[in-house]
Structure 1
């Protein structure tokens, strides 16, 4: 079984400081506020800013968070609406290549993030009310509350990645 959540990242997350003890409703609130927080975080950027240790640029991280929210909203809705609770893993790097994340305009990525966050909030809220449980191919049992926390962490963690890019971009270059 694949380690995930606090068992993998620590509590709090040893990188981004995410506190895994938040309630599912608090996780929903964090994702609901995500488009506003990300818009403020990237204000004045082009989206192509990078950090040499990271594979993706700023717009790519926004695009990944968007796709992750969409993916999990769809999985929870599918289980809730059809009873099909078996879900596979997915390869985020393959999806990034297929969608050319590093070439997505930042304004478009932020537009998409707003729509994905709205759909995710609706889907996760309904899944929590109906106690939806997924059977993930790699992670095993994933209750709706696990998905809520995992996705809120993903967004917080990638905001931390974007901040790392910003710190690197602010450093003067030496000749």
Structure 2
């Protein structure tokens, strides 16, 4: 079984400091606030800024978070609406390659994140009310609460990645 969540990243996350003890409703609130948080982070930026230790640029990280939110919203909605609980894993790097994340326009990425966060919050809230449980091919049992926290962590962690990119590029350019 694939390690995930606090078992993989630590509690709090040893990189971004995310605390896993937040309630599922707090996780939903964190994701609902993402577009504003990310928008403030990237205001006045191009989106192609990079850090040498990271594979993706700013627009790519936003695109990844957007796709992750959409993916899990869809999976939870499918289970809630049909009772089909089995879900496959997916390869984020193959998806990034297929969608050319590093070439996505920053404004488009932020626009898409807004819509994905709204759909995710709606889907996760309904799944929480109905106590939806998925059977993930690699992670095993994933309750709606687990997914809410895992997705909130993914978003917080990648905000931290974007902050690292910005600090690096600001230092490199003397801004």
TM range (shorter): over 0.9
Alignment length (residue pairs): 174
Q: Which residue of structure 2 lines up, in the alignment, with residue 31 of structure 1?
A: 31
- Give, in angstroms, the shift of residue 170 of structure 1: 1.2
Q: CA RMSD in A?
A: 1.0
Structure 1 runs (4+) greater than 2 angstroms displaced: none
Q: Which residue of structure 2 lines up, in the alignment, with residue 76 of structure 1?
A: 76
Q: Which residue of structure 1 lines up, in the alignment, with residue 151 of structure 2?
A: 151
Aligned mates of 1:173, 1:17 — CA distance in 2: 27
- Give, in angstroms, the shift of residue 19 of structure 1: 0.4
Q: Which residue of structure 2 lines up, in the alignment, with residue 14 of structure 1?
A: 14
Aligned mates of 1:173, 1:12 — CA distance in 2: 32
Query: Structure 2 regions of 5+ residues with no counterpart?
Result: none
Matches of residues 153-168 of structure 1 in structure 2 within 5 Å? 153-168=153-168
Q: Which residue of structure 2 lines up, in the alignment, with residue 101 of structure 1?
A: 101
Aligned mates of 2:101, 2:172 — CA distance in 1: 26
Matches of residues 53-68 of structure 1 in structure 2 within 5 Å? 53-68=53-68
Q: Which residue of structure 2 lines up, in the alignment, with residue 126 of structure 1?
A: 126
- Give, in angstroms, the shift of residue 173 of structure 1: 6.2
Aligned mates of 1:31, 1:148 — CA distance in 2: 9
CA deviation vs aligned residue, 1:51-98 (integer Å, no higher than 9, x gap): 011110000000000000000000000000011100010000000000
Aligned mates of 1:9, 1:130 — CA distance in 2: 28
| Secondary structure in structure 2 of the residue aligned to 1:171 | helix
Scaled by the length of structure 2, the TM-score of the pair is 0.98
Q: Is 1:42–2:42 an aligned residue pair? A: yes
Aligned mates of 1:5, 1:35 — CA distance in 2: 23
